[in-house]
């Protein structure tokens, strides 16, 4: 059946159905359903009233996926609307000397970084455990832009761009 509203919902369904056959596993934790398909992770989160939000887009790359592929570039461009959010969650372990550098946004008039937050490992007494860095970006106006983030050792002579994450975003 065709759904005409909200605009773009059929394209969203088509992208979801293309990814579905490549799903390798899933997990439910912290009120979120995470579906793992290679280097792609679809994250679904219920709102306070139990409904699944339709605005914005979230992507989370697990630590395991980061180990499998040092350079992750999503092969599809999520579409969000003006004032919606893009959330990117990447594995991070500062005890290794590596850190995610500042996000580079190709067109800062289309998308801006609102926040960046490190979340430490949930397990207590885990020395050297990996945590997460969560970026939130806000769509400012219609257009297309790319977000690139490098995981490097920031000191002089340190490894640069050891891991990379890239995503194109379409704001409608």
Q: Enumerate domains of the chain plus CATH numbers.
A: 9-121+128-171 (2.60.40.2020)
Higher per-residue pLDDT: 153 or 52: 153
The predicted-structure confidence for 21-35, as pLDDT tens digits, reads as follows: 777 777 666 666 777
Question: How confident is the model at residue 150, as a pLDDT?
Answer: 94
Residue among 134, 12, 165, 20 at smallest CA distance from 79? 12
Residue pair 153/167 in contact (Cβ under 8 Å)? The answer is: no
Where is mean pLDDT largest: 77-81, 103-107, 126-130, 163-167?
Answer: 103-107
Higher per-residue pLDDT: 61 or 108: 108
> What is the mean pLDDT of the segment spanning 154-165?
87
Question: How confident is the model at residue 36, as a pLDDT?
Answer: 73
State what percent of residues in the chain have pLDDT above 90. 35
pLDDT of residue 52 exceeding 50, the answer is: no
Where is mean pLDDT largest: 40-44, 69-73, 74-78?
Answer: 69-73
Residue among 67, 92, 109 at smallest CA distance from 153? 92
The predicted-structure confidence for 134-146, as pLDDT tens digits, reads as follows: 999 999 999 999 9
pLDDT of residue 114 exceeding 90, the answer is: yes
Q: Distance between CA atoms of 37 and 14, rounded to whole angstroms? A: 16
What DSSP line would sit under 4-45, residue for residue? -SSTTHHHHHHHHHHHGGG--EEEEETTEEEEEETTEEEEEE
Residue among 134, 121, 144, 129 at smallest CA distance from 59? 134
The predicted-structure confidence for 78-103, as pLDDT tens digits, reads as follows: 888 999 999 999 989 888 899 999 99
Higher per-residue pLDDT: 170 or 126: 170
Q: Check residue 68 and give left, alpha or beta (phi > 0: left; psi -120 to 50: alpha).
A: alpha
């Amino acid at each position: 059946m065709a759904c005409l509203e909200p605009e773009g919902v059929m394209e969203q369904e088509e992208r979801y159905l293309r990814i579905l056959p490549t799903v390798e596993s899933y997990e439910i934790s912290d009120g979120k359903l995470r579906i793992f398909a290679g280097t792609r992770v679809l994250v679904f989160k219920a709102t306070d009233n139990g409904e699944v939000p339709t605005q914005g887009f979230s992507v989370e790359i697990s630590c395991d996926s980061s180990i499998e592929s040092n350079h992750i570039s999503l092969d599809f461009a999520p579409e969000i609307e003006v004032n919606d959010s893009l959330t990117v969650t990447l594995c991070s372990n500062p005890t290794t000397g590596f850190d995610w550098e500042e996000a580079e946004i190709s067109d800062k008039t289309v998308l801006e970084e609102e926040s960046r937050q490190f979340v430490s490992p949930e397990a207590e007494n885990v020395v050297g455990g990996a945590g997460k860095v969560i970026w939130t970006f806000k769509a400012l106006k219609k257009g297309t832009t790319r977000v690139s983030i490098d995981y490097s050792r920031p000191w002089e002579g340190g490894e640069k761009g050891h891991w990379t994450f890239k995503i194109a975003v379409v704001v409608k």
